[in-house]
A and B are shown apart, each in its own frame.
Chain A
Amino acid sequence: MKRIQYCLLIFGLLFGCQQNHPENRNREASLPASFEFSKLGLKTISSIINPELGTTSTLYGNDNALEELKGLTSNHMVEKTLVLVTWKQQDDPRWFGAKIPSDLKLVEVLKTKSSFKDYENVDYRIYEGRTLGNRKDNLKNEDRIKFITSIQPAVMP
């Protein structure tokens, strides 16, 4: 009897439990919760790849910023936010021929209450590294502001 019980136990262990698969997650590319990105309530505007640097970026913004980038608004006196998140690219281990985000490199945040073309009044901040802890404030980086605000929104009908 005991032998049968042992056999049943081994059988149960082998076949009874459903196999648990590991969680599917891109850890190194995830933004730290402390950055509170989701609270910004931004829309996705476009994606941009720099093959030379091997980076991929996604541009997000609030409705007002998206409107300005689309060239649709003349209202200068509303708050506009643009956020460009940049990751290092990696070969996709699941699809030969594809590249996906790898380590989080930096986040650039642009804010203005007038137009992004008014570079002097754009607040530009940069957060670097996996934890985005290295924060550099008030850098007058006109080239980056010009570059980021020149990204044309991707067609998303």
Chain B
Amino acid sequence: MKKLKKLKISLAILLFVFLFIQIYRPNIPVEHHKGDTPILFSNKVDAILKKSCYDCHSNQTDLKWFDQITPVNFLIADHIKKGRSGLNFSDWGSISRPDQNAKLWEAVNQIIQGAMPLKSYTLLHSEAKLSVKDIQVLKDYLSSIAPKQIPDTAKVNALNRQYKNWTVEKPAAEFKDLPVDINGITFIPDYKNWVPISSTQREDNGTMRIIFGNDIAIKAIKEHQTNPWPNGTILAKVAWDQLKDNRGNITPGVFKQVEYMIKDNHKYRSTAGWGWARFKTPKFEPYGKTPSFTTECINCHRPMENNDFVFTPPLEH
């Protein structure tokens, strides 16, 4: 009898605490639209995104009753805050067209790889799961907006100007002060003397790339030690515009950027074990206004978490 009484008191205390903490609630700003919202992509695509993404990636969050219980709501609020900061369809109009395309392709690729919607979210919101048919609708839409490559004199002229400067200017290796990005990563001019580990044609953004590996990366490939990559590995991804010639071949147009992934799981512990950097244009302008720009890199590479955050399957030469 005494035991039962103790249990009852404990439960009552727990219930009281539970009810009391309901006073504390996170602030989740939500916009409610009266009537129809403008179509961003197509009726079908918008419907899928609204069903599966909008709760965390727009201001039109539809909170279920169980999302509003403290302490769960703090977790939800954090998810929504992070989700909106990475991609917010309510701010779509304020993003530049190339960034819109990049974000949409990235979002669909996150879905295809199963990284989105988050498993922790679909556990209680099973309606957000995407069907094979939903994914096909998104793929078809993306294919329809992918840039079509055609011979383009303006692109040829831009390349000719850049090429002329490149062949007459002194090489970057002779630069006195190499550019350094906001996280202290210095541009590495030697990338072009490394061995390529793959190449990519990106139909989504009209670029083509060669990915180079430094000596440590090449040794790791040779020794079958690429997951995880050893400390000291540096991968350099060079991107050019695609240029279609009259014979139908696609060759590198203007040089766009070099991106680096530098492996050091102590130094870069907080950024998935890699240092991330991007230097744009032949002037190697460092990308990223704040040190946290690397969040963008990691978020995009997150579906490759079990692959040491590397998309490229390296080939051995």
Contacts and interface: CB of A to CB of B under 8 A. Distances in A.
Interface string B89-117: 00000000000000001001100110000
Contacts of B171: 157
A49 B105 CA distance: 22
Contact of B226 (A24, A33, A72, A100): A24
Nearest to A97: B204
Interface in A30-46: 30-31, 33, 37-38, 43-44, 46
Contact of B202 (A23, A47, A52, A97): A97
A46 B146 CA distance: 24
A138 interface: no
Contacts of A156: 166, 191-192, 238, 255
Interface string B197-219: 01111111100101010000010
Contacts of A101: 198-199, 315
A52 B248 contact: yes
A152 B159 CA distance: 11
A88 to B, nearest CB: 13
B176 to A, nearest CB: 15
B311 interface: yes
Contacts of B308: 21, 24
Contact of B251 (A29, A48, A89, A99): A48
A3 interface: no
Given A43-B193, A98-B200, A99-B203, A49 B315 contact: no
Interface residues of B, number: 65
Contact of A157 (B142, B166, B224): B166
A149 interface: no
B109 A95 contact: yes
A26 B249 contact: no
Interface string A112-146: 00000000000000000000000000000000000
A1 B253 CA distance: 71
A31 B208 contact: no
Interface stretch (B57-65, B269-277, B299-307): B299-307
22 contacts: A24-B313, A25-B221, A25-B226, A25-B314, A29-B198, A44-B212, A51-B248, A94-B304, A94-B307, A94-B313, A97-B146, A99-B200, A100-B198, A100-B199, A100-B200, A100-B313, A101-B198, A152-B163, A156-B192, A157-B169, A157-B255, A157-B284
Given A24-B313, A47-B251, 8 more contacts: A23-B226, A23-B227, A96-B139, A98-B202, A154-B255, A155-B159, A155-B282, A156-B191
Closest 10 CB pairs of A and B: A97-B204, A154-B252, A26-B313, A29-B315, A49-B250, A155-B255, A30-B316, A156-B192, A26-B315, A99-B201
